[in-house]
Structure 1
């Protein structure tokens, strides 16, 4: 496995799930460096896939702006995306419009 080209490893690793990606990164120092390297997009791709599966689709052509605190804590974009991947949850897909109007003091007017 040491002689596996980097591009081939990253291509195969791109098909792994989150648990498998974490597991393979613990098998050896070389794989860990490839998975967690700041230029690696493995965790970014996982974040976008999870977010798009659970919530609305994000436009991949737009940059994801990270907070300065997150960047300070995680040190690299790869680590930031790894952290964010584990935090993705389904957003509520409903809105209680009547409750919102009541709290805001609005009275809905019917035509």
Structure 2
């Protein structure tokens, strides 16, 4: 269950990171509210996952999910560039996350 909680926390990290862009410097009410709700919930879920998961592994996976997801949504939603180096780098992050999970098993 802790891995599922950590995964949801990572998804919510994507939510607050993207929410920061949509909030336009916290000047738009609903995007700001979503950003803050996602941020708090993501941290709470990370804290719950850390009850049973090692901090180094859990934190790295949480950050990795957020980084990869935010980069992908930046490309899809905001037209950010996707070159070969960026794609390779994101692939390496995902490989690292899989490796951390397997190392913990």
TM-score (norm 2): 0.36
Write 1 or 2 for the structure with the bigger share of helix: 2
Bigger-Rg structure (1/2): 1
The higher relative CO (CA closer than 8 Å, separation ≥ 6) is in 2
